[in-house]
Structure 1
Amino acid sequence: MPFLNQMYETYKGQGFEIIALSTEGKNVEAVTAFSKKAGIKYPIFMAELDLLEKYGIQYIPHHVFIDKKGTQRHEETGFSEAGKTTFEMRIKELLKEGG
């Protein structure tokens, strides 16, 4: 999560957003406490499991890159140190396009 915080802080003023979805039930207090303890700086919304099923998300973490027009452009499952460069490249690519 430190990497996502870094990306959020670096690019949020340029039209980039991170929105996290929690599927850990409806306990808002628990999710809020976890967010604070983990130092998460971006918003977390509650999501039902059927939302994940609707979009075919089977594994977490799952990242979806959506452009300014609302079109899904990239999708990745999992996260690794090696993937950080690609992750940031995708952000820069979409921001550069404008829209």
Structure 2
Amino acid sequence: MRSKLNTWIRATALTATLAVSSLVGASSALAPSFALPSRTGDVVALDKLKGQVVMLNFWASWCGPCRQEMPLLDQMHKRYSSLGFTLLGVNVEENTKDAEKWLAQTPVTFPVLFDKENKVSKLYDVNAMPSTVFIDRKGNVRYLHRGYKPGDEAEYLNQIRALLKE
């Protein structure tokens, strides 16, 4: 009985892993282009970043997991930006005051863009906070992560390193 239970557990775990991999795993769809205003007043266009590995992190100031991962994302940005990696934080709130207030308390060095009308969020089918999209140097969406839990940053790092090597 115990052997059958262990086999069932392993099979269920494998099935769940494959299902998650298909949702989060590599793909090769062309990333939808966009241009958004940044905190500094510049407009950032995705098309201008071709040749870079780009990480889009969709977040909101009211999102606890977003707040938790933001300092970790900043470390990644600092570590890999000189190697052809660009991290863009895309705030999805209509009113940017809460985001600005939170960023004043927890500053980041990567560009923060404002998607007040959620047009870019819709292009990338963002339906969870945070959502993180990895785009390869050719402009293809390669990975999508919905949500964040401690430890996910290890997978982010693996994906950044793999895409930088391509």
TM-score (norm 1): 0.85
Alpha-carbon distance in 2 for matches of 1:54, 1:2: 26
* Alignment RMSD: 1.6
Residues 3-42 of structure 1 mapped to structure 2, 5 A cutoff: 3-27=72-96, 30-42=98-110
Shift of 1:24: 1.6
Please state whether the residue corresponding to 1:40 is helix, strand or coil.
Answer: coil
Q: Which of the pair has more CA radius of gyration?
A: 2
Shift of 1:81: 1.7
Counterpart in the other structure of 2:151? 82
Alpha-carbon distance in 1 for matches of 2:125, 2:93: 18
Q: Deviations over 1:57-82 (max 9, x none)?
A: 11110000001111000000111222
Counterpart in the other structure of 1:67? 136
User: Contact 1:66–1:73 at 8 Å: present in 2 too?
Assistant: yes
Please state whether the residue corresponding to 1:89 is helix, strand or coil.
Answer: helix
User: Would you say how many aligned residue pairs link Structure 1 and Structure 2?
Assistant: 96
User: Contact 1:26–1:46 at 8 Å: present in 2 too?
Assistant: no
Which 4+ residue blocks in structure 1 deviate beyond 3 angstroms?
29-33
| Structure 2 counterpart of 1:32, one-letter code | E
Counterpart in the other structure of 2:47? none
Alpha-carbon distance in 1 for matches of 2:102, 2:135: 26
Alpha-carbon distance in 2 for matches of 1:12, 1:93: 15
Where structure 2 has 5 or more consecutive residues not aligned to the other structure, the ranges are 1-69
Seq. identity, %:
27
| Structure 1 counterpart of 2:141, one-letter code | Q
Q: Deviations over 1:19-47 (max 9, x none)?
A: 011122254x5533432321121111111
TM-score (norm 2): 0.53
Please state whether the residue corresponding to 1:18 is helix, strand or coil.
Answer: strand
Shift of 1:52: 1.6
Where structure 1 has 5 or more consecutive residues not aligned to the other structure, the ranges are none
